[in-house]
Structure 1
Amino acid sequence: MGNRRDQIKRVAAGLFVEHGVAGTSVRDIAEGVGMLSGSLYHHFPSKDAIAFAILSDFLTDLNARYRSVLPHVNGMREELRALVHSSIEIAGAHPYATEIYQNERAYHGPDAPAAIATAVREAHTFWIAAATKASACGELRAGLDPVEFARMLREGVWWSIRYHREHLDERRDEVTDTVLAAFVDGGAAPGARTGARPAADDRSIVDRLDRIERRLEKLSDSLLHEP
């Protein structure tokens, strides 16, 4: 039964992102799995219960990964890299969970289920704690609000996951490095290299950032011109 439940969640997640939870029927999910609608109710009482399970499983694994990796790293860059990389890894293991959360106000709005809201708040505390500690010890650039910095970095990660979804597993390290270059290195306190010419590795990161910016511009244009 466990494998069947996982199959239902995988199929439903893709449909929820494409059509929304409201626009997806139990019949749609059942047909995608290859079963009768009535049989699906043996596994989940409703499509909303499926959406809840998708997000709950994702958040449970995400917070567990944060708790497991953070004790083994030190310093702002390593702690934030661990959070970024772990987020991408867990998102890859739970396809479309982040997109469902972003798309569905029922799960991120004021009426979100208590269990989901609590798990999301717990996940946020890891980011806020890392940024606050970095600010207190002078690793984060003076003048940056650590809570706002943590929020922007975290949301940048989730939107990067959305953008790279189709090739997320093979591009995990590249996405991690690019997010760090854009947010973490840019937010680090000035060091000895301030004003120096960028090294070859730095130039390659800048090139990747330029390519991503161009892609985002094209994506934005296409969304604006959709019928």
Structure 2
Amino acid sequence: MGNRRDQIKRVAAGLFVEHGVAGTSVRDIAEGVGILSGSLYHHFPSKDAIAFAILSDFLTDLNARYRSVLPHVTGMREELRALVHSSIEVADAHAYATEIYQNEKTYHGPEAPAEIADAVREAHTFWIAAATKASACGELRAGLDPVEFARMLREGVWWSIRYHREHLAERCDEVTDTVVAAFVDGGAAPAARPDTGPPTDSRTITDRLDRIERQLEILANSLLTDS
């Protein structure tokens, strides 16, 4: 089951989402783990320290995953799909970390711990850079602000994770495909239409004139033969 510290974080994460950090006591966490409250303090000095560790570990792994996958993909769709898929996989490995961040203003407000705030900003830069590059090279639909597009896509991923939390592992690819289809494909610049010649109506008129001319030639040849 891994070490005791990891077990404490797993149990605490579930309680924090259900009751909030403020509504969860050290005794609640200790009872969930099956240890005495005093024993828990050997691993963490407080419940707030547990919440901090949950988010810090998640963000560290998230940014590491982003850095490792992006060099191996090219183009807007593949880069953003890699970010979406990586986010879901890391969120599954760190159960409820995203929900705790969403729920607890202490960690995403102006008073957020510097380490958490810096890690979040770093994570955002990957999304913004991918969207900005796509905008610059014409892959992103004209008129879409790349920073706002990146924010909406990123937030869509985190709320999708929250909605599918209980079955996230088995639905990772499905959720990824749905998010990419809704946001990325919908935001892609329209493909250039190939030159298919004159409009259908013009071709129809031209074809009819050609047939008439051929019929006239046949009729003229027939008249000459008869004479």
Report the TM-score, using the length of structure 1 for normalisation.
0.84
Instruction: Give the letter for the 1:138 counterpart.
Output: G
**Per-residue deviation, residues 23-71 of structure 1 (Å, max 9, x unmatched):** 0000000000000000000000000000000000000000000000000
Partner of 1:43, secondary structure, is coil
Q: Distance in 2 between matches of 1:193 and 1:164?
A: 38
The correspondence of residues 86-105 of structure 1 with structure 2, limited to 5 A, is 86-105=86-105
**Which residue matches 1:34?**
34
Instruction: Give the letter for the 2:143 counterpart.
Output: G
**Which residue matches 1:212?**
none
**Which residue matches 1:199?**
none
Q: What is the CA distance between 1:88 and its match in structure 2?
A: 0.1
The correspondence of residues 197-216 of structure 1 with structure 2, limited to 5 A, is none
Instruction: Give the letter for the 1:15 counterpart.
Output: L
Q: Tell me which structure has the larger Cα radius of gyration.
A: 2
Unaligned runs of 5+ in 1: 195-227
How big is the alpha-carbon RMSD for the aligned residues of Structure 1 and Structure 2? Answer: 1.1
**Which residue matches 1:181?**
181
Q: Distance in 2 between matches of 1:180 and 1:174?
A: 10
User: Aligned residues, how many?
Assistant: 193
**Which residue matches 2:47?**
47
Q: Distance in 2 between matches of 1:98 and 1:162?
A: 8
Q: What is the CA distance between 1:150 and its match in structure 2?
A: 0.1
**Which residue matches 1:23?**
23
Partner of 1:52, secondary structure, is helix
**Which residue matches 2:155?**
155
**Per-residue deviation, residues 57-106 of structure 1 (Å, max 9, x unmatched):** 00000000000000000000000000000000000000000000000000
**Which residue matches 1:142?**
142
**Which residue matches 1:12?**
12
**Per-residue deviation, residues 125-152 of structure 1 (Å, max 9, x unmatched):** 0000000000000000000000000000
**Which residue matches 1:113?**
113
Asked if residue 67 in structure 1 is aligned to residue 67 in structure 2, the reply is yes
Partner of 2:3, secondary structure, is helix
Q: What is the CA distance between 1:193 and its match in structure 2?
A: 7.4
**Which residue matches 2:219?**
none
**Which residue matches 1:210?**
none
Q: Distance in 2 between matches of 1:191 and 1:138?
A: 11
Q: Distance in 1 between matches of 2:83 and 2:168?
A: 16
Q: What is the CA distance between 1:191 and its match in structure 2?
A: 1.1
**Which residue matches 2:57?**
57
Q: What is the CA distance between 1:118 and its match in structure 2?
A: 0.1
Instruction: Give the letter for the 2:46 counterpart.
Output: S
Q: What is the CA distance between 1:192 and its match in structure 2?
A: 4.9
Q: Distance in 2 between matches of 1:126 and 1:90?
A: 15
